[in-house]
Amino acid sequence: MGGNEAPTGPAPLAATPVPDIPGMLVITLPVHGDNRGWFKENWQRAKMTALGLPDFGPVQNNISFNATAGTTRGIHAEPWDKYVSVATGRIFGAWVDLRAGDSFGAVFTTELGPDTAVFVPRGVGNAFQTLQADTAYTYLVNDHWSAEATGQYAFVNLADETAAIDWPIPLEQAELSAKDRAHPRLADVDPVAPLRTLVLGAGGQLGTALRRAFAAREDVDYATRTDLDLTDTTALAARDFSGYATIINAGAYTRVDEAETPAGRTAAWAANATGVAALARVCTEHNLTLVHVSSDYVFDGTSPVPYPEDAALSPLGVYGQSKAAGDLAATTVPRHYLIRTSWVIGEGNNFVATMLDLAARGISPSVVDDQYGRLSFTDTLAEGIAHLLASGAAYGTYNLTNGGEPASWADIAAEAFAAAGRDRRDVTGTSTAEYFAGKQAAPRPLNSVLDLTRIHATGFTPQDQHEALRAYLDARTTDPSGRA
């Protein structure tokens, strides 16, 4: 080799999307050879996820050895993701999208040798034909085979005229199984339904808002605490999660003051910590995405600036302590969105509704004026959660409240009184210490303002809390049963 010649070597690691089959990728693998043979990194999690491959969590590695050229297998779509490669030999691979949607029936073919791999999403039919004798075809999958799972398979005939796959070795000359020859034509295939989303706590304020946000979707299921209680480990273990991709936990024990009592302490920890830990184990075992909703009460409220997502946990009372423990459990799930929020206002009983009721009854309340934060309307929370899931935002913790300038509880109460036709001065400000003097109550953070920089960076801008409050008040004063 001359001094000006570029050295030759293996092609660099790269991932290329398949245009017509969403989520499918072709991966170029560097193969390093010398006089002894060759070596490659067939699956390297850190490098490949950096290229855009999903961190799909393989749990099983299978090898299909094929003694003769022309051996043909498929087209099978199993209920799991698959990472396909060749250890020795060469294949002609064919994939048909069998998922419900616009890409149903799309076909992709290519040859695979040791230097190429393919990521195949759940629901995409997979087939191959060996081009050389003694070919070893390998695949990683992210779920274990079970007899129950076979009912979720989809198949299409290798000779389907619509797919029109141009097999290098004609099928009449190839080695096929009787089962593969008998698979249905594409027109007779039932499309593979998408994995579903399960909303827990669907009877609460946030759960109700999530029902509205997902009203147009048919792939979302809802469970109230009566349907599935996280504190009931037997019921949780008995639930079939195989058809789900995402769980949104919108339920919690939120009786802040009662949590300071012996019975309340037990209930708070059972729902907010122990139950969340059990749910986190389920999500990890089944490779699910967990969306878990937390609270500003995990902080002590002494910060002079808004709390960022990575602020140290410092809860003051039992409720906050139980929520902080739940946060720690939720973040053990590889695919998680931990949503921290504050001052939730939704359909039903809430602070603003209470102030409107007091105004209507002629009462002039004292309201704390040294606690500052932002309201979180449940529709905003639901929209933000839907955005994170749909946009594929990075997993992790996100603060999510309405935006705008912070306000005190007394400021919010005065707005409610003005909307009800009362004088703002009918609301008297008082300190937290004065208001709770002599009462059995949980300690409150004085600063509940959460930094919204990270949620903004995902492309979601929550509505200004003052605008949202005016809209809520207009609805409630026009129709007292108006929805938050």
Asked if pLDDT for residue 345 goes beyond 90, the answer is yes
Dist CA 4 CA 271 (whole Å): 69
Q: pLDDT tens for residues 16-48? A: 999 999 999 999 999 999 999 999 999 999 999
Q: pLDDT tens for residues 236-289? A: 888 989 889 999 999 999 999 999 999 999 999 999 999 999 999 999 988 899
The CATH architecture one would assign to domain 196-478 is 3-Layer(aba) Sandwich (3.40)
Q: Alpha-carbon torsion 108, 112, 115, 116, what sign?
A: positive
Helix or strand holding residue 139 (H, E): strand 135-141
The C-alpha R_g of the chain, in whole angstroms, comes to: 28
- Tell me if 97 sits within 8 A of 154, measured CB to CB: no
pLDDT of residue 481: 55
Domain ranges of the chain: 14-188, 196-478
pLDDT band at residue 149, thresholds of 50, 70 and 90? low
Backbone angles phi and psi of 400, in degrees to 5: -145, 105
Q: pLDDT tens for residues 279-323? A: 999 999 888 999 999 999 999 999 999 999 999 999 999 999 999
pLDDT band at residue 4, thresholds of 50, 70 and 90? very low
pLDDT band at residue 477, thresholds of 50, 70 and 90? confident
Asked if pLDDT for residue 148 goes beyond 80, the answer is no
Which tokens hold the place of 367? 């309201």
pLDDT of residue 399: 98
Mean pLDDT of 93-122: 96
Residue 80 identity: W
Percentage of the residues of the chain whose pLDDT score is greater than 90? 86
CA 111 from chain centre, in angstroms, equals 34
Dist CA 123 CA 145 (whole Å): 15
pLDDT of residue 2: 44
Q: Which position has the higher pLDDT, 177 or 57? A: 177
Asked if pLDDT for residue 381 goes beyond 90, the answer is yes
- Tell me if 169 sits within 8 A of 191, measured CB to CB: no
Q: Please tell us whether the domain made up of 14-188 is placed in CATH 1.10.10.10.
A: no
Average pLDDT over all residues of the chain: 93
Q: pLDDT tens for residues 59-71? A: 999 999 999 999 9
- Tell me if 93 sits within 8 A of 118, measured CB to CB: yes
pLDDT band at residue 146, thresholds of 50, 70 and 90? confident
Mean pLDDT of 449-462: 98
- Tell me if 205 sits within 8 A of 179, measured CB to CB: no
pLDDT of residue 65: 96
3-state secondary structure at position 70: coil
Report the length, in residues, of the chain: 484
pLDDT of residue 264: 96
pLDDT band at residue 8, thresholds of 50, 70 and 90? low
Dist CA 25 CA 195 (whole Å): 20
Dist CA 5 CA 463 (whole Å): 60
> Is 144 annotated in the active site?
no
Q: pLDDT tens for residues 408-430? A: 999 999 999 999 999 999 999 99
- Tell me if 286 sits within 8 A of 246, measured CB to CB: no
- Tell me if 284 sits within 8 A of 326, measured CB to CB: no
pLDDT band at residue 55, thresholds of 50, 70 and 90? confident
Mean pLDDT of 81-100: 96
> Is 139 annotated in the active site?
yes
pLDDT band at residue 476, thresholds of 50, 70 and 90? confident
Asked if pLDDT for residue 15 goes beyond 90, the answer is yes
Active-site pick, 139, 222, 435, 472: 139
Residue 349 burial (C-beta neighbours within 10 Å; 0-12, 13-18, 19+): exposed
pLDDT of residue 479: 67
